[in-house]
């Protein structure tokens, strides 16, 4: 009976530490302990939003996480053109739409192993997952270099780390 109990406890502890759950990880490039996660982003995708430095309009870049773990930029929504906004002709197969909300370029299909960016001082960088938008400056100091990438988490990491994005 004692061996069964030891085996059961060992199996539970092992299972709690296996990296079974895919999540979006946003971490400080220099200090990886500064990190937030979103499990919902794997299922629902996410957008990175910011105020464009030239035209001052909000830009929304939409990503999904592929089974391979890559991030795919598939759509961008913006109010007006400015430096760095892609032209539809730059990406074969991209579609350009004009809507009441602004301009949309779809079918970008740009795949990245990770996204590296810095928290802007003026850009008001935010991330939206589902209906939840959060501002990166609330979790990281301005000008902090960040890495967005898919990571695997153990159930224990999920239990012990708060996810402000997912609400738990």
Per-residue pLDDT, averaged over 119-135, amounts to 93
Three-class SS of residue 11?
Answer: helix
Supply the pLDDT for residue 83. 67
Reported as a single tens digit per residue, the pLDDT across 26-45 is 999 999 888 899 999 999 99
Supply the pLDDT for residue 134. 92
d(CA 62, CA 43): 13
- 162 confidence band (pLDDT: 50, 70, 90): low
- 113 confidence band (pLDDT: 50, 70, 90): very high
| Buried b or exposed e, range 12-51, using 16+ CB within 10 angstroms | eeeeeeeeeebbbbbbbeeeeeebbbbbbbbeebbbbbbe
Supply the pLDDT for residue 92. 84
Structure tokens at 45: 């995708």
Reported as a single tens digit per residue, the pLDDT across 47-95 is 999 998 777 889 999 999 999 999 999 999 998 776 667 777 777 888 8
- 155 confidence band (pLDDT: 50, 70, 90): confident
Q: Residue 95: which of 80, 111, 76, 70 has the closest Cα?
A: 76
Report how far apart, in Å, the C-alpha atoms of 46 and of each of 7, 144, 156 are: 41, 20, 24
């Amino acid at each position: 009976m004692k061996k069964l109990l030891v085996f059961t406890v060992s199996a539970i502890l092992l299972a709690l530490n296996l990296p079974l759950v895919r999540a979006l990880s946003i971490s400080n490039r220099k200090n990886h302990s500064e990190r937030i996660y979103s499990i919902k982003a794997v299922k629902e995708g996410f957008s990175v939003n910011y105020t464009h430095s030239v035209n001052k309009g909000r830009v929304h870049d939409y990503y999904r996480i592929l089974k391979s773990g890559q991030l795919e930029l598939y759509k961008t929504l913006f109010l007006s053109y400015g430096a760095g906004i892609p032209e539809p002709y730059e990406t074969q197969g991209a579609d350009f739409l004009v809507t009441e909300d602004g301009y949309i370029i779809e079918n970008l299909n740009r795949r990245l192993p990770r996204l590296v960016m810095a928290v802007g001082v003026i850009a008001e960088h935010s991330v939206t997952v589902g209906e939840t938008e959060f501002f990166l400056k609330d979790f990281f100091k301005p000008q902090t270099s960040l890495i967005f990438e898919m990571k695997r988490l153990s159930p224990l990491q999920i239990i012990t780390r708060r996810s402000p994005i997912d609400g738990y």
